[in-house]
Chains A and B, each alone.
Chain A
Amino acid sequence: MELFTNQVLAGIATGAIYACMALAVVMIYQAIDHLNFAQGEMAMFSTFISWQLMQWGVSYWAAFVITLAFSFVAGIAIERILFKPLAKAPVLTNVAGFIALFAIINSSAGLIWDFTIKQYPTPFGSAPFLGSQLISTHQAGMIGVTVLLLLGLYFFFQYTRIGLAMRAAASVPESARLVGINTSWMIALGWGMATAIGSIAGMLIAPVVFLEPNMMGGVLIYGFAAAVLGGLSSPFGAVVGGFLVGVFENLAGTYIPGVGNELKLPIALALIISVLVVKPAGLFGRQIVKRV
C-alpha cells in the first residue's frame, strides 16, 4: 500500500508538468482550433531567454516577468507574421506550418545555446515537501502555480469582457464579427496568452528535466495526450488529464510486469485511446454536434 501511495504521489508530481503543458495546448486550441505542434519548442525558447537573462545577472523574478512579456509579444508576432496569411489555407497546410515553425525554433535554439544540458534554478527550493521524499517543494510549487493559473484563466474567461469576446470569436466567429468583435485580433491574443502560459510551463519544467533544445519533446507528447484525455475544450479537463496521465504512467511502470521506461509511453497512450473510444470528446469535453 505504501508503494502505491508513493507511486501516486510521484505521479502527481510529474503530472503537474503535463498539466501545465496541457493547459497551454488547450488555450491555443480554444483560440485557433488547431493543435500547435510547435508549442513545446516555443516554451523551450522562452525558457532559454529567461536563462540567458539570469546569466546576465537579472534576478529570477525579474527574468520571469520579462520572459512572460517577451513570450506574449512573440506569440502575437508569430501569429501576425506567419499564420495570419495562412488563415484561409486548408487546415492540413496550417499543420505543416506548425511543423516548419518547430524545425525553425529547435534548430535556432540549438545554434544559439548549443545542445549541452544546462541547470535551471527553481524559486521554490528542492527540499522534501512536508517530509515526503517523493514530492519536493519545487514540485509542490509547480502544482500550486498550475492551480493558480487555472483559476486565473477561469475568472478571465468567465468574468471579463475581453475573455467573453475571445470565447465568442472562437465558438461563433461570424456572429462575433457582427457584434463588433475583432476576431482576427482575438486569435492573435490567444496566441500571445498561450505562448505566455507555455513559457511559465517551460520555466517550471526546466529545473526537473534540465534545459536543452529537445527538452520539450517528451513533455509535449504527454501534454497533448493529457489535453485530449481531458477534452480539448476544457482547461479544467486538461489539468485533470495531466495529473491522470502522470499517475497512470507511474503505476503502469510499477505494476505491469515487463513495462520498463521504454514501454511507459505506448502504454499510457494506449490507455488514453481506450478512454477516447468510450468517450470520444474526452473526459470533460463538450460533445460536438454536427449539422448536415
Chain B
Amino acid sequence: MSAAEEVVAEGHQAVEAVPKRAMTLGTGTSLVVLAALLVVPMFVKNFIIFQMTMLLIYGLAVLALNILTGGSGQFSLGQSAFYAVGAYTSAVLMEHANLNYALTIPISAAVCFGFGYLFGKPALRLSGVYLALATFALATAMPQLLKLNFLEHWTGGVQGLVVTKPDAPFGLPMSQDTWLYYFTLIVTLAIYLLSVNLLRSRSGRAFMAIRDNEIAASSMGVNVALYKTLAFGVSAAITGVAGSLGAIAVQFVAPDSYTITLAISLFLGMVVGGVGWLPGSFVGAAFIIFVPNMAESISKGLSGAVFGVLLFLVIYLVPHGARQIAILGQQFAGKLKKN
C-alpha cells in the first residue's frame, strides 16, 4: 500500500543462521543414543518396536526437510508428495516386479532425487510464502494424481496397494517387526551420517551461505541455482527413502495416506525439533507420532484442541525447539566441568 519500495534490512531472514558445528550431537551422546536404539528392541513388545520403526522413518523425513529448510533456507510444504513417490515406487516395484524390498530403496531414492531436482527448477524463482504455496500445491495435487485412471493398473487407484512384510534374512531368529526395525535403523544411520557429512562439506557450506545471504553467496562464487535445486533433490531423495520404509512398515500404500496433513506434521516436527539441528529431527518425529495419541487419550472430542494447546506450550517454552534444550544442557555440563 505504501508507494515506497519495500526494503528488507540485513539480518532479517526467514531461517536462523545455525553454525554448522551446532547442527550435530557430540560423539559421546551419539554413542549412548545408538546403544539405546540397539538394545531397547530386545526387551519390548512388537507394537512398541513398530512405533520405534515409525519414529525412525518420520525422523528421516523431518531430517530431509531440515536439510532443505535449516540447511539451504528453502521452505517446503510439499514433503508429503516426495514421501508418496518413494512409498509408491517401492510398493509398485515389490508387488508388480517382485523386486527385493532392500533393492527398491536406492531406486526410490534415485527416482525422488530426480523428481525433487526437477521440481526445484521452477521453484528457483520463488521464495518465502510463494515457495510455500508452490510446494503446498504439489502436496494437494499428489493424492489426486495417484488416483488417476490410467495409473490405476499400477497404483491400485483409491484402493491402494498391499505390501508384503519381509522376513528376517539368513534365518535370523527375530520377528518380522524386529528385523524391519534393525533394517530401518541401519538405513537411518547411514543417511544420518551422510547428511552430517554433507552439511560439513563444500556443498553444505554452499547451502548455508545461500540460506544466510543469497546475494552475498552468489557474489562469492556459489552457484546459487545449482545448490538450491540440489538441496531440493537431496531432500526429496531422503524423504523418498523414508516413504519406501514407511510403505514396507505399514504394509499398505493409498493416496489418502499422503495428504497435506502429512506435510504439515513433518513441518511441525522440524519446528519442535529445532530448525537446522539434525538430531532434533528425531525428537520432532517423536512429537508428531506420540502427542496426537496423547491428546486423543486426554479427551476424545477435543483431541485437536488439546494437541493445539500442547503445541503452544512447547513453542512458548522452547521457541527454538529441542535444540534450545540441547544447548542449555551443554552449557550446564560445561559449568560442571569447570567447578
Contacts and interface: CB of A to CB of B under 8 A. Distances in A.
Partners in one complex: yes
Interface of A: 30, 35, 82, 85-86, 88-93, 95-97, 99-104, 106-108, 110-111, 157-158, 167, 171, 221, 224-225, 228, 232-235, 262-263, 265-266, 269-270, 272-273, 276-277, 280, 286-292
B271 interface: yes
B327 to A, nearest CB: 14
Given A263-B144, A289-B7, A104 B125 contact: no
Nearest to A228: B133
Contact of A167 (B2, B141, B315): B2
Interface residues of B, number: 58
Interface in B243-278: 264, 267-268, 270-272, 275
A291 B316 CA distance: 31
A290 B130 contact: no
Contacts of B302: 107-108, 111
Nearest to B316: A85
A112 to B, nearest CB: 10
Given A30-B1, A101-B308, A262-B144, A292 B215 contact: yes
B22 interface: no
Contacts of A158: 1
Given A90-B319, A93-B315, A96-B272, 10 more contacts: A99-B308, A100-B312, A100-B315, A106-B304, A171-B4, A277-B122, A280-B126, A289-B5, A292-B10, A292-B213
Interface in B171-222: 213-216, 219
A169 to B, nearest CB: 11
Nearest to B132: A35
A228 B137 CA distance: 12
A291 B132 CA distance: 23
Highest count of chain A CB atoms <10 Å: which of B16, B130, B306: B130
B22 to A, nearest CB: 15
B182 to A, nearest CB: 33
Interface in B225-247: none
> Chain B interface secondary structure, helix, strand, loop or mixed?
helix
Nearest to B306: A107
A291 B1 contact: no
21 contacts: A86-B315, A86-B316, A90-B320, A92-B14, A92-B69, A93-B315, A95-B267, A99-B264, A100-B309, A100-B312, A104-B304, A104-B308, A104-B312, A265-B141, A266-B140, A270-B137, A277-B125, A288-B6, A288-B7, A289-B7, A290-B215
B151 to A, nearest CB: 13
B165 to A, nearest CB: 32
A104 B271 contact: no
Contacts of B305: 103-104, 107-108, 111
Interface in B125-153: 125-127, 129-130, 132-134, 136-137, 140-141, 144-145, 147
A60 B87 CA distance: 51
A234 to B, nearest CB: 7
B42 interface: no
Contacts of B304: 103-104, 106-107, 110
Contact of A276 (B125, B215, B264): B125
Contacts of B6: 171, 233, 286, 288-289
A269 B136 CA distance: 9
Contacts of B32: none
Interface in B1-21: 1-2, 4-10, 14-16
B301 interface: yes
Contacts of B213: 292
A228 B14 CA distance: 18
Contacts of A233: 1, 6
Nearest to B307: A103
B141 A273 contact: no
Contact of A86 (B129, B306, B309, B319): B319
B129 A35 contact: yes
Given A92-B275, A235-B1, A224 B133 contact: yes
Contact of A89 (B2, B126, B216, B315): B315
A232 B147 CA distance: 33
A225 B305 CA distance: 27
Interface string B304-334: 1111110110011001110000000000000
Nearest to A273: B134
Nearest to A103: B308
A224 B267 CA distance: 19
B319 A89 contact: yes
B1 A96 contact: no
A96 B311 contact: yes
A30 to B, nearest CB: 7
Nearest to A174: B9
A92 B214 CA distance: 19
A161 B144 CA distance: 49
A100 B308 contact: yes
Most buried by A among B2, B132, B311: B2
